[in-house]
Structure 1
Amino acid sequence: MSFKKLKPEVVEALKTIPIESLVDAAKSLFSTIKSGKNVLISAPVSSGKTTTALVSIFNKVNQEYEGSPRAILLTNSIEKAEALHKKIAPVCRKLDVTADLIHDKGNSIQQRNDIFDGTEIIIGNPKRIFELYLQNGINLKLLDLFIVDDLDECLSNHKQAELKRLIESLESKTQLVLLTNVYNKKVEVFIESLEIPLAVVELDESI
């Protein structure tokens, strides 16, 4: 992927983590997400779609807007959420943006306070994010990106209701990006239930 598609400050910040893998992963998918359209991306586990989504977040969320998150990335596994949060920490420091880790193992009151204090990026799991949303602990009004990673795994773990409610609460200006490892019947039924325009991109091979 050409660096011309990334903001200069993001290119510089990405040098704090292994940039080669991110660049390779972004070749086929970055432009799709950057278009701003709602999209479902179906690609194998090793395709790099998650890291591409992270690059897209940084390319859009690189300035502070106090009191409201600009991007939320949900993943089925608490362990993966922790790993992603740790991975992006150096980039966040370089760009002077805040990323909060929000999942079931954390203290919900502290998490709500952290979000209230102001954060640009939230990484977490559907259950805790939904709980905080119901408690008015998360404001979705200024979101630019709402990303669900491992959608197929989330659906297999019966997170349909939480995800659907959160997605239906998004503003029309918020871009929805769904990432799935397989495009199966559960995924098909779920996206049909959303009743929103959604482009579908399927990749059969790793990037």
Structure 2
Amino acid sequence: MSDIQEPTPGAPAPDEATTRPGEYIADISFEEMNLSEPLRRALAERGYTSPTPVQAKAFGPAMAGKDLIVRSKTGTGKTAAFGLPLLEKIPADEKRVRALILCPTRELALQVAEELTTLAKYKGVKVAAIYGGASMKQQEDALEEGTPIIVGTPGRVFDHINRGNLKLDGCDHAILDEADEMLNQGFYEEVTRILDRLPKTRQVLLFSATVPTDIQNLIARYTTNAETLLLSGDVFTVEHIHHIRYDVSDQFPKPRNLIYILEKEEPSNAIIFCNTRDDTALVTAVLNRNGFDAELLNGDLPQKERERVMGKVKRGEVAFMVATDIAARGIDISGLEYVINYSLPEDPAVYLHRVGRTGRIGNKGTAINLFSGRELATFTVLEKKFGIKFEMREMPAPEEAMHLWTERHLRELREGMGSSIFEGFLPLASQLKQRPDADDLIAFLIKYYFSRLRMEKAQAAGETEKREPVEQRKPVERRGKDRERDRE
């Protein structure tokens, strides 16, 4: 899923939607934007009725060919803000590259490409994603066949330009998505070299939450009389997110503190953010050992494995994704209720990007934070500079957590009993209880049952994925990486 206004499971009634803040609902409809029938059809099929303000305000200037600088925070619909005018302008039978969209991460590039492909469903405009870690040959084939919209990461895009696979002499539109993050990752030189290959008459659309010095240099160098749309400025707001603080106990290993909190809060799904790759591996292993469905996502994973994990997350087959900022930058998960900070980041702005994965398009979200004394500086800035109020909650005692853990598993076992015929095994159960190795055997059977239960849920989700149209699926849906890895 992307930044476009996304209906959540159990979509709100119209009167509920109108209670959302103005930054998420524009005062005009898609019909009033005079969109073509194929685009209106694709939007209606997905249940979108109203554009967000960034989509409504960017559409006219973008269609008029103006350069645009759009400052809008995450979760306000930026993908459709540049996607809709692009798809209106590009004819269905176009083969040459007409638009180049640069993104800071592979996951964001894939996400944007998927969203534009969905919006172009009835228009017939092709979209290709070009990023490191994937097959160069497949990307070469897509370019050779003729694809008018290219979405990619700077490293791999520049490689294709150097190899002669990607020709930009006819490219009319350049879009920089999350430009500040792209330059934070050290892509300034590659971005400028790519933009230098474009025709002088190209249109530039730059989307960025902030406008630091490097962005100002790009604006001065590559835009002409650019129109600025200021929808969020440098002020990050998290007004739809409830922030919770747990002071972790040094008596127990930190992963054990996390388990206790999960037992108490019972989140249905979450991204769990760690500051290091080692922590993602440790936390994922501990969660799985304790009966939680978890997958890790970090910069060490091969691209195919990253895509496998993201596929499971989007299909709702895994409840917890344990990720670093590098891997999770820009990931948008429909219906995500919780973000959990296993460790607070050193940079307070990163905290705001993390928790922005929930509370999307005006929905409610919860951020749970494991806090220790080492993170006092970050916590203080978040409170004083950004005005975030944290609700203090007491860590559950080990006895309480064990009780909650037991009750959770008993509930699931009883639910399974309700639809099973097991009377024939009662004599065996009676015999098992009398054996000296009864605890080991029962523990194995319980583990086997819950493993099978997770497998059946995953298979059921896969069957739903096959049956439902792409636009009706319910996904449970990104910071820097070095440029060499991006080219792999």
Identify if the C-alpha distance between structure 1 residues 72 and 20 changes in structure 2 by more than 3 Å, giving closer, same or farther.
farther
In the alignment, is the contact (CA less than 8 A) between 1:16 and 1:91 conserved in 2? no
Q: Deviations along 1:154-181, whole A, 9 cap, x unmatched?
A: 1101111111111121113321111111
Root-mean-square deviation (CA, aligned residues, Å) is 2.3
Q: How far apart, CA to CA, are the structure 2 residues paired with 1:38 and 1:122? A: 19
Partner residue in 1 for 2:48 = 19
Partner residue in 1 for 2:373 = none
**Which deviates more, 176-185 or 85-94?**
85-94
Amino acid at match of 1:111: Q
Partner residue in 2 for 1:189 = 217
Amino acid at match of 1:36: G
In the alignment, is the contact (CA less than 8 A) between 1:40 and 1:198 conserved in 2? no
Amino acid at match of 1:37: K
Give the match's secondary structure for 2:75. helix
In the alignment, is the contact (CA less than 8 A) between 2:204 and 2:222 conserved in 1? no
Q: How far apart, CA to CA, are the structure 2 residues paired with 1:181 and 1:74? A: 15
In the alignment, is the contact (CA less than 8 A) between 1:126 and 1:163 conserved in 2? yes
Residue 12 of structure 1: how far off its partner (Å): 2.1
Partner residue in 1 for 2:67 = 38
Q: Does 2:152 align with 1:124?
A: yes
Q: How far apart, CA to CA, are the structure 1 residues paired with 2:104 and 2:90? A: 23
Q: How far apart, CA to CA, are the structure 2 residues paired with 1:12 and 1:143? A: 27
Give the match's secondary structure for 1:134. helix
Matches within 5 A, 1:36-185: 36-66=65-95, 68-185=96-213
Q: How far apart, CA to CA, are the structure 2 residues paired with 1:90 and 1:166? A: 27
Give the match's secondary structure for 2:138. helix
In the alignment, is the contact (CA less than 8 A) between 1:37 and 1:175 conserved in 2? yes
Point out the structure with max Rg over C-alpha.
2
**Consecutive unaligned residues in structure 1, runs of 5 or more:** none
Amino acid at match of 2:148: E
Q: How many residues align?
A: 205
Amino acid at match of 1:16: E
Give the match's secondary structure for 1:94. coil
Q: How far apart, CA to CA, are the structure 1 residues paired with 2:100 and 2:45? A: 22
- Larger RCO, structures 1/2 (Cα 8 Å, 6+ apart): 1
Residue 196 of structure 1: how far off its partner (Å): 4.3
Residue 144 of structure 1: how far off its partner (Å): 2.5
**Which deviates more, 158-167 or 197-206?**
197-206
In the alignment, is the contact (CA less than 8 A) between 1:16 and 1:90 conserved in 2? no
**TM-score, structure 2 length as denominator?**
0.39
Q: Deviations along 1:124-176, whole A, 9 cap, x unmatched?
A: 11111111011111111222321110000011011111111111211133211
Identify if the C-alpha distance between structure 1 residues 92 and 48 changes in structure 2 by more than 3 Å, giving closer, same or farther.
closer
Give the match's secondary structure for 1:110. helix
Amino acid at match of 2:90: V
Identify if the C-alpha distance between structure 1 residues 176 and 190 changes in structure 2 by more than 3 Å, giving closer, same or farther.
closer
Partner residue in 2 for 1:203 = 230
**Consecutive unaligned residues in structure 2, runs of 5 or more:** 1-27, 238-360, 362-488
Identity %: 22
Q: Deviations along 1:102-127, whole A, 9 cap, x unmatched?
A: 10021122211211111121111111
Q: Deviations along 1:16-52, whole A, 9 cap, x unmatched?
A: 3342364554222211212202222222223323321
Identify if the C-alpha distance between structure 1 residues 116 and 43 changes in structure 2 by more than 3 Å, giving closer, same or farther.
same
